Amino acid sequence: MIELNKFRQKLIETYKYSQDRINLVLKFIGGLLFFFMLSSVSTDTISVPKKLMFVLLCAVITSFSSPGVFIVLCMVASAIFIATASVETAIIVFIVFFVLFLFYGRIFPKESLLFIVMLVGYKFKIPYAVPLFAAIYVGARSIVPVGAAVLFSQFEYCFDTMVSMSPTSGFAVTNLPDKLLEVFTYLCNEIYAHITGALFVMAAVLIALIIGWAISSLHIDHEKEIGMGIAAVITVFGVFVAIILGGANVSVTGMPISVVISVGIVLIIRLFDDLPDYKSTEWVQFQDSNYFYYVKAVPKIKAARNDDYSSGRQYRGDE
Amino acid sequence: MSIYIIFLNYVMISEETEVFYLEDLRKVRAMINLAIYDKHEGETDRKITSNYKRDYVYKRGLSMRLGVFLGCIILVLIYYAYMLFVKDADVFQLIGEHIFIRMGIGIAAVLTIYTFFCSFSYRREYHYAEKRMDIYEKRISWINGQKSKHAGKNHKKDEVI
């Protein structure tokens, strides 16, 4: 355990020492993987080298850009890739993303990244890691992007049908209004038919997120772990209720497994955060001329150093 | 980090002038802090604090309201398209004074809610930027050996940085 703690500390120190460079590389790799995954929706109408060059260009822009620029880039790239399969579907998807951008993405660009991450999570069947992570580290601001991502994923199955209804191979500008209307009508009918189940699932996930955030904000021992556990349990039961009462389109067997794996992922992320040592908690009471102070001091777990000077004290910008 | 270790070794070697080098060390640490701040948040904070608080909140709010208004218009158009083409509603039922009044009230309500929540967010953003700039200027004054222009009767005595 001590060796693991030392290794963890070493990793954190290595990251903090070269934070800028590591962030640049991680953003590039993340952008590359994300846009490569996004390019899977496109058809063979654009050649593989052109597709790879576009993905590379997007990854390079991602590594140097702010969250707001990245979100706009995602919108444009998804529209371009989808347009290779179906122009009408691309227009509708772009309008949906644009409205989300106007209502939320412009105002809270960093929190909007949760929307994109959650869609990626759905692709890898571990979407619940995002609301569990957001409950602990982001808070109530994550309600909108998480809710929007849940709703979006509930109707993701319509995408294939929309593409088959209006493929790019049969595209003609004169037919655009009719095809667009046809696809729009199909989407509206599907939303109208299945909106109840989708709203149930969204409500279950958001309630779990809010309760998890509330518990992790309490001043108790292991508040984050308890908050995460309770949020996970509420997610499982809430989604089951959504399936039974709302007829939601969620896998009964896959969902609990996905939640368990998501909890594991968030716990691994938590390992790289400052961990409190609750066994060494101290309660202190003192006063000044205006206030009485009741302080609970919980030390952080740090690996012991042999010598402060020889090991090289880490300089932190906030000292 | 390497500058810090070099100075640390310098302090250990020169014992008789230790106090003098420790003072330099504190100034170097302060300068490093300032450089790190300049690199990450300094530019953004200068842009924010170059406006008065009210102006900053108003400008950000105006940009936000324009975007949200455009979003509401798009949603209204989508609703009209849904009613006309999917539900085959009568055009004249969708064009009426009461319909426009209801939509106007809805859009106004959305804008009010957004303005209410976002103004808190923008004010907090300005407050933190102003606080960081204050600390930045105090540290520069201390490095230059000047009295900070923010020192006053109500300010606590500056601690050694």
Given CB atoms, is A17 within the 8 Å cutoff of chain B? yes
Q: Is residue A251 part of a domain?
A: yes
* Strand ranges, E, within B35-160: none
- State whether residue B4 sits within 8 Å of chain A by CB: yes
**CA A122, CA A249: separation in Å to the nearest integer?**
13
User: Which value does ipTM take for this structure?
Assistant: 0.74
Residue ranges per structural domain of chain B: 2-143
The pLDDT of residue B20 is 52
Res. A298: pLDDT tops 90: no
A95 lies in some domain: no
Task: Flag whether A152 is in a domain.
Answer: yes
Determine which of B86, B120, B160 to mutate to test the interface with A (most A C-beta atoms within 10 Å): B86
Q: For residue A23, is it within any domain?
A: no
B66 close to A106: Cβ distance less than 8 angstroms? no
Q: Is residue A90 part of a domain?
A: no
Using the beta-carbon criterion (under 8 Å), do A184 and B1 form an inter-chain contact? no
Place of tokens 């309630």: A207
Say yes or no: B29 contacts chain A, CB-CB below 8 A. yes
Instruction: Decide if A212 contacts A230 (C-beta within 8 A).
Output: yes
| Tens of pLDDT, residue by residue, chain B (161 residues) | 444 445 555 545 545 455 556 667 788 888 888 888 888 888 889 999 998 999 999 999 999 999 999 999 999 999 888 888 888 888 887 788 888 888 899 999 999 999 998 999 899 999 999 999 998 988 888 888 754 444 444 444 444 44
Contact indicator for A209, A231 with CB cutoff of 8 Å: yes
Residue A196 located in a structural domain:
yes
Task: Give the total number of structural domains in chain A.
Answer: 1
What token pair was written down for A55? 């993905």
* Dihedral class, residue A111 (left if φ above 0, else alpha if ψ from -120 to 50, else beta): alpha
Q: Is A185 on the interface with B (CB under 8 A)?
A: yes
Residues of B in contact with A188 (CB under 8 A): 82, 86
Contact predicate A299/A309, CB 8 Å: no
DSSP output for B55-123: HHHHHHHHHHHHHHHHHHHHHHHHHHHIIIIIS---HHHHSSHHHHHHHHHHHHHHHHHHHHHHHHHHH
Contact assignment for B70 to A102 by CB distance below 8 Å: yes
Question: Are the beta carbons of B86 and A319 separated by less than 8 Å?
Answer: no
Its domain, for residue A128, covers 103-273
Give the residue-averaged pLDDT of A77-94: 90
| Three-class SS state of B72 | helix
Name the residue facing A106 among B37, B67, B75 (closest C-beta): B67
A102 contacts in chain B (CB < 8 Å): 67-68, 70-71, 74
Taking the Cβ of residue A313 and every Cβ of chain B, the question of whether any pair is shorter than 8 Å is answered with yes
User: What b/e readout covers B66-86, taking b as 16+ CB neighbours within 10 angstroms?
Assistant: ebbbebbebbeebebebeeeb
